[in-house]
Amino acid sequence: MKRGWWLLIVWTVPSAILLAVTGIVFHAYRIPPPERLDDGERTRVIATLRAALSDQDPPHCEVHRAGNAVAVTVWSEGRTAIRIDGQGADVGAAVDAAAAQLRARPHIKTMPGITDARIQVDVIAGRAPLGDTEAVMNALALPGVASLLALNPGVEGIGAVANDKTVYVLPHELVLAKVVSTKRPSETMGDFAMGVDLGRIATMVGGRLGVKVDGKALFRFRTDAFVEQLAAHRDLPPLQLYRGIPPAPKLSAEALRTAAIAGAHYLVAHLAPNGRYVYEHDLSTGVKSDPLHPGAYSMPRHGGTTYFLAQVYRITKQEWLREPIERAFAHLVSLMKEGNCGAKLPDGTDVDCVLDKGEKDAQLGSTALVVVALAEYELATGDQRYRELETKLANWILWMQRPDGSFRHLYNPVTRVADDKAQLLYYSGEAALALTRMYVVTKDPRYVQAAERGLDWLVDWYDFFMGGFIFGEEHWTCIAAEAIYPAVQKAKYREFCAHYGSFLRQQQPERGEHPDEDDLVGAYNVTPFVPPYNTPAGSRTEAMISAYLLGVHEGVPDSALRDQIQATLQYTLGQQIRGDNDFDVVGDADGGMPGSPLERSVRIDYVQHVCSGMIRASEWPELAGQPH
């Protein structure tokens, strides 16, 4: 063969092979998004099923769309009360079959609260194989890709066929069973769980089929899901669901204010008589952490959460907030008495710090956020009853600061020695904010000078080559940088926070960028494969509001920051638990903020960060999506 032919082969064949592999694999595993039923069709589907659930003759479902299977879930008090599948020649016939099964269930006659129960329908709309169960793909894909990232969590379910029977484990069932983002890529990465647990899923599917399921029998499927309205709104069409969540309320100042107040309601309802919060509420089981007994708890989060309540009180002046805030402070006072952290410095200054039960070291973040909360309360009420306490705590923070502006983060109250080595996330920014807020309420220049030194240290830390490309978690830094204005006006603070915002925007996908994941637009995520958490959406929005306001103060408002804030606020409005999306929530959790669309539990700091951003943005029309 001539040399020219060889050259042609060398230059084209490898590229052709690579192109072919890409195309074949993509099409083999792609399930196109379903064409969704319209308002009228969804209404007709639900009408048939609601009649059956009410033990009446169901009308035939006249929805003649392609699709031969539907899965029906009846939710009652947050739990699945009934779950059936219907099959037929088209969607209408499948719904008729499901309605007949539903009516045949004896316990619909005795089920309590049948009117309030809500019917969810999943129209099975497309299927594709699982990469992990196919030998070629399993061998060809990089380790973990075909197994840990086997399906789009919350969007895809897993089904199986055995003995002529087909079962469907729906996307939300996989989420509630905690099998979509709990597998660790490696046992050495204990805190990093992101993968699908196909072993447990196979067991779930096998349990429904009544036989052990071979991996090859499993397949992925997508659904067009929708849920019946609340009983009071049944005249409206059923709500479309995506990743288990209905459409978000439209962004507006009023919507943000309502959502923030709902968050405050959640926290007050989760504050025990002893002043300690119910730290975590599992939405799928209703299990709550017990505030009366020792367990997982975070004093910085106790302080931060109380700060948020005081912030809502300052802005809304709703009196029902005041007693719970004071109750949360009373708990802190009793902890401080037990903690024995109080001391007198050689110069006679009284200091004190916050220490939770059983804690050996006092953490700077705990005391800092308590000071932030106390100062916010004083600003909100004008009541100076905690001033002496605030001052002692702030004196301790000043004592923990080094001459270069940095802070020591841990302190042993027994040995009276501060740890000069340990550096923990967030604490320096929190301390800078605490000192700033102390200055705002006391006008004592010691605080503003120390806060400025702290902020300078935090911002100047990035003064090296790679510091221009990466950022740590600097949300408290930017909140403090704005809070100190106008006492300290430094262009470098605004520039730093604007760059931080620009860095974060690269993690914020735009609509259409990840077409199957437009529901996550506004969240911060690194790839489409790792579900974004709601807490960073909240804390970063708090920081971005401060970054934006720094620009406003200096006459250079940044429209990119404004759009970034609006996108995240719109996203978090959709994530919050409220009447129309609490059908799968056990226990009263309205106003709560789940960890993510896939992590169905609420922790106090999730609510605090997200709702703090909301209440602050509600005061700025342009941030709330309204004309300036």
Partner 1 sequence: MAARRELRPYIYLGLDQLAVIIYVVVIVKAVPTWMTSAKIHLWSMPIALQLMALGMASVFVPKLRKHGRWLALAGGGLILASAFLIIVRLLASAAFLAGVYGAFGQAAASGALVAVALVIEVVVLLPIVQVKWLMSRAGRRVFA
Residues lying near partner 1 in the complex (CB under 8 A): 14, 17-18, 21-30, 33, 128, 131, 137, 139-143, 145-146, 149-152, 156, 220, 509, 513-517, 526-529
Nearer to partner 1, 77 or 516 (CB): 516
Both tokens assigned to 563 = 């759009």
Identify the three-state secondary structure at position 289.
coil
Q: Which is nearer to partner 1, 142 or 414 (CB)?
A: 142
SS3 513: coil
Closest CB to partner 1 among 145 and 193? 145
Reduced 3-state DSSP string for 36-68: CCCHHHHHHHHHHHHHHHCCCCCCCCCCCCCCC
Output 9 or 28, the one with its CB closest to partner 1: 28
Q: Cβ of residue 146: shortest distance to partner 1, in angstroms? A: 6
Smallest gap from Cβ 149 to partner 1, in A, equals 6
Query: HSE (CB half, 13 Å, CA atoms) of 212?
Result: 1
Closer CB to partner 1, residue 1 or residue 232? 1
- Is 24 or 287 the residue whose CB approaches partner 1 more closely? 24
Do the Cβ atoms of 121 and 46 come closer than 8 Å? yes
Q: Quick one: tokens of 290? A: 């017990």
Q: Tell me the longest C-alpha to C-alpha distance in the chain.
A: 95
Q: How many CB atoms lie within 10 A of CB 164?
A: 5
Query: Which residue, 142 or 232, is less far from partner 1 as judged by CB?
Result: 142
Task: Work out the angle at residue 567's Cα, subtended by the Cα atoms of residues 594 and 573, and round it to the nearest 5 degrees.
Answer: 35
CB 207 to partner 1: min, Å:
25
Give the nearer residue to partner 1 in terms of CB position, either 135 or 232. Answer: 135
What's the closest the beta carbon of residue 14 comes to partner 1, in angstroms? Answer: 6
Q: In the bound complex, what is the minimum distance in angstroms from residue 431's beta carbon to partner 1?
A: 33
Least distance to partner 1, CB of residue 553, Å? 33
Q: In the complex with partner 1, which residue's Cβ is closer, 26 or 465?
A: 26
CB 221 within 8 A of CB 126: yes
405 three-state secondary structure:
coil
Question: Residue 117 has what DSSP assignment?
Answer: -
DSSP-based three-state secondary structure for 129 = strand
Burial (Cβ within 10 Å: 0-12, 13-18, ≥19) of residue 66: exposed
Which is nearer to partner 1, 42 or 220 (by Cβ)?
A: 220
Quick one: how far is CA 502 from the chain centroid?
A: 21
E strands, 256-413, in order: 280-282, 343-344, 350-351, 362-363, 410-412
280 CB-near residues (< 8 Å, 6+ apart): 288, 289, 296, 601, 602, 603, 604
Rounded to the nearest whole angstrom, what is the least distance from the CB of residue 523 to partner 1 in the complex? 13
CB of 359 to partner 1, least distance (A): 37
CB of 24 to partner 1, least distance (A): 8
- Which three-class secondary structure state does DSSP give residue 197? coil
Residue with tokens 């490309």: 469
Closest distance to partner 1 from the beta carbon of 152 (Å):
5
3-state secondary structure 383-395: CCCCHHHHHHHHH
Tell me which residue of 402, 347, 395 sits closest to 367, measured CA to CA: 395
Contact between residue 618 and residue 625 where contact means Cβ atoms under 8 Å apart: no
